[in-house]
Structure 1
């Protein structure tokens, strides 16, 4: 999709669609200039049609009107943004997503999108770009019918109409490029999550990591069972042992070329990567298993974020750590009652093989923290309990290091991803107490999301850590704004914003922090370039 800036009379801007975003109340005497110009050209019929159709500019309202040749554009789209006082860029991002879907239905290839305020901001421009690209996303590669629909014209040209008195700038052009990078990376993650589990297995995830490395020039180190055994990741191996598909250990590393920056403490990103979760011997019900191809959404988000991070080049290292495997029932599968020994040396009694994600994450978090990061953030479709608590659109954020947690929450607000801080309290610790091992992997039903976070906490030590439970928001149950039904790519925008904000802070620091050297697993290949969860 190509974006450009235009100024002047929007009625003459051209394109198949002219999009005019409006706040609640903008149809009155204080109507914005684009609406006044379009309504005048249509001899007052635009506002009259809006009144007849009940369009008032409320959030989620959209009105499409044919211009019957009276404008250079074939149709005008009035786009409701809701109350001006409650406006955020995410409102515009969602609205732009609706425009993209409207354009798909009308089979148009170009449009002009007027900015909704008298002041063009980078956040506003970026929201429009991201919303249009995310809203235009489709996953239909496996459909053999409806070829005409699949080959239909797609939106490829967008003119961003600047308010009167403003002109394009380097900052606005940079916002367009960043929005494109982030949205394209998010759609890439959505593809990975939407793919069937017979396509995206641990080996395919490793190949995706190598593609990221080749595209961005960062380093990819891929290990197999031998490397996992050498690292004494007993919990990871336990989960992986029931599947015919071999596990993969994935490490992506962006390191600045500047020697001083390269010595700074890194940011570590960890993604859950269960490419299919049957529940193991604690088998899930059939209906609950259908969506379990999405149990690797955390790893997809982490790798997608690394695609952008490798291009924006922050002044400190960023590492991604992923343990990919399947959780399958078989004669070799791990069992309830087994005791596994983690890389950290802690022993874990298995009480539920469907609580597998935390086991793999525990070993991977231990490994990540050995690189002495300034902060570690994990993304995981971890618990159905978090979906019960927060629903389908809000991420649960856990962590005790207030500065790091607040940094992630602020990044989420900037990115337009909804997150809510949840408690990590020792009041629930008894739920994980074992009579025969240091701890057990699953406790009582109550406080399930907190119990899972407490389990992970055992493997991060004193490292500032944030756990994001994305079990609900990793997929959308319906079409909404820029969402389709299916994978959302949640977390990509937040991770990118967190790194960008940290970069803005650290660029002013004269002396770098010291980080431990990165040592790839011996023998590993290097290259450049909604149900209960576990």
Structure 2
């Protein structure tokens, strides 16, 4: 990733600050009319610009709605030559923190294009609490991200990386604000790390290199790592995962990362499970070329699970947290598994393969079985599992399925706080008959309709009675265009939700 900015707190009178760019978040109606704003900070900016802000807002039909952005020159009347005004929507909205995160991220993302290396964010007077500071910090770091490793200097384009982002608050020495800034940094940097993993080509990230990355992360952050290869997977009875991976020259890897409070085991804790198909050609049910192009992203669930553990190490919860990842490639070869094959799972269930391109659930089934056997209090899995979920919810929303409503609600609440869009879909058991097989205990796919549900129902066969949530992140894992704080490409979806879910459990403990 590109070098990330130093995010810091700042306080004091507006006229004492200098930067290349001021960012002014506003609520609806604060700048688009002649009336005086109720907020002193906006009033100061309006007065300093002597009507320029109102004129520009009117000309550009900027009203302060969430997602709107207005850029203008200050003509030397403020401590920065440029001002970006970003809309927060209606004042008092319950979504203010999420909107602030996106607004700051979009402004910082745009700062690079104009060569603004020093940015000052004028946080609203009523949004300077710890959660707002954390949201703005996350937005700044997410917005500054750029995957430019393979660009030559000539192709990196105009503009300069943002070096510093200062957040204007009441008191820069406030302990709660400092703590919130550090938390935001840890979570956003973990999300950006996941974006790097997903953006890398499949020739760089394959099961062995993903395992190496996990080992290095564990070593750097005081976690325990375990990596198991093909022979150990065969001994463990991971018949489905081995079957999926047997068509590749890169053998599958089962990766485990463990956080233990104070280095000790304390209770069963929680677990993350990630689908790590580092490239998915579809097997013998091969994908069309256009559908295969982005299949390096089919390990986004694994990236989220692994990189969330970096945030967990920073959070230091008083309970154990474990990440499990099944890493494979799903390719075509003389050794590849075939439609009609019967695979035996770790749980003992036999599975008729009626679609080799429904491989993720096979990998997850074995990994979930293993995780369940460890006795965790709750498990969340993340997977770019079905196109059907994208058909149902679109490209920006992850589907949520669960066998436990309390755990589902906790994860949904965490996603809302983290600013990741999640929506619960039914685990409708009436569709389970679609998975019936005449020659095995189950098939791996059902009919066309309700495909995201039948995929989740298949996974539920391996979760026993453990509270479990499945996140189908096929849509939001990769963006086709810039949106909010995100560039085109990987988003690191899931990292922030997992971190927030852990944080919420810490606060409830």
TM category, shorter: over 0.9
Q: CA RMSD in A?
A: 1.5
- Offset at residue 46 of structure 1 (A): 2.7
Are 1:6 and 2:4 matched, yes or no? no
Q: Give me the whole-angstrom Cα distance separating, in 2, the residues matched to 1:123 and 1:236.
A: 41
Distance of 2:484 and 2:315 partners within structure 1:
28
Cα separation, 2, equivalents of 1:475 and 1:3: 26
Matching of residue 215 in structure 1 with residue 223 in structure 2? no
Task: Determine if the alignment matches structure 1 residue 196 to structure 2 residue 204.
Answer: no
CA distance in 2, matches of 1:494, 1:249: 23
Bigger CA drift: 101-110 or 361-370? 101-110
In the comparison of the two structures, how many residue pairs are matched?
A: 501
2:496 to 458, 473, 493: 493
2:244 to 225, 239, 246: 239
Distance 1:33 1:19 in 2: 16
Q: Where does structure 2 lack aligned partners over 5 or more consecutive residues? A: none
> In 1, distance between residues paired with 2:30 and 2:195?
36
Instruction: Measure the CA separation in 1 of the matches of 2:61 and 2:125.
Output: 23
3-state SS of the aligned residue for 1:207?
helix
* Within-5 A mapping of 1:48-63: 48-63=55-70
Contact 2:27 2:90 in 1 (8 A): yes
User: Given that residues 113 and 160 in structure 2 are in contact (C-alpha distance below 8 angstroms), is that contact kept between their aligned partners in structure 1?
Assistant: no
The residue number in structure 2 matching 1:144 is 152
Give the one of 359, 363, 366 matched to 2:366.
363
Partner in structure 2 of residue 288 of structure 1: 291
Contact 1:57–1:81, Cα closer than 8 Å, also in 2: yes
State which of 247, 269, 273 in structure 1 corresponds to 2:272.
269
Using the TM superposition, give the Cα deviation of residue 5 of structure 1 relative to its aligned residue in structure 2, in angstroms.
2.3
What pairs with 1:282-321 in structure 2 (closer than 5 Å)? Answer: 282-321=285-324
1:79-108 Cα deviation digits (max 9, x unpaired): 111222434211111111111122111111
Instruction: Provide the C-alpha distance between the structure 1 equivalents of 2:242 and 2:191, rounded to a whole number of angstroms.
Output: 30
Q: SS at 1:146's partner residue?
A: helix
Closer, same or farther: CA 479–330 of 1 in aligned 2, 3 Å: same
Q: Decide which of 79, 93, 100 is 1:72's aligned counterpart.
A: 79
* Structure 2 residue aligned with 1:423: 426
Instruction: Point out where structure 1 has 5 or more consecutive residues left out of the alignment.
Output: 507-534
Q: 2:160 pairs with 129, 138, 153, which one?
A: 153
Where does residue 278 of structure 1 map in the other structure?
281
Select which of 250, 255, 280 maps to 1:250.
255
Q: Structure 1, residues 68-127: CA drift from partner, whole Å, max 9, x if none?
A: 223222122221112224342111111111111221111111121111233521111111
C-alpha displacement of 1:132: 1.2
Aligned-partner Cα distance in 2 for 1:118–1:296: 40
1:126 and 2:124 aligned: no
Residue 323 of structure 1: how far off its partner (Å) = 1.0
CA shift in 2, pair 1:70/1:490, >3 Å? same
1: distance between equivalents of 2:295 and 2:237?
27
**Superposed displacement of residue 41, structure 1:** 2.5
Q: Does 1:84 align with 2:91?
A: yes
CA, structure 1 residues 129+361, in 2 after alignment: closer, same or farther (shift >3 Å)?
A: same
Q: Distance in 1 between matches of 2:51 and 2:195?
A: 43
- Residue 120 of structure 2 corresponds to 112
TM-score by length of structure 1 reads 0.91
| 1:115-148 deviation line (CA, Å, top 9, x unaligned) | 1233521111111111111111111221236346
- CA gap of 1:275–1:417, structure 2 versus 1, over 3 A, is same
Instruction: Tell me if 1:407 matches 2:410.
Output: yes
Task: Decide which of 10, 23, 27 is 1:23's aligned counterpart.
Answer: 27
In 2, the alpha carbon distance for the partners of 1:484 and 1:407 equals 29
8 A Cα contact 1:20 1:34, kept in partner: no
Choose the corresponding residue for 1:456, options 453, 459, 471: 459
User: Distance between the aligned counterparts of 2:263 and 2:223, measured in 1?
Assistant: 14
* TM-score (normalizing by structure 2): 0.95
Q: Secondary structure of the residue that 2:157 maps to in structure 1?
A: helix
> 2:186 is matched with which residue?
181
What are the superposed Cα offsets for residues 209-239 of structure 1, whole Å, 9 maximum, x if unpaired? Answer: 0121011111000111011011011101100
Tell me, yes or no, if the aligned pair for 2:385 and 2:474 is still in contact at 8 Å.
Answer: yes
Partners in 1 of 2:66 and 2:409 — Cα distance? 29
Q: 1:100, 1:155 within 8 Å by CA — same for their partners in 2? A: yes
Per-residue deviation, 1:438: 0.5
**Cα separation, 2, equivalents of 1:42 and 1:189:** 41
In structure 2, the partner of 1:354 is 357
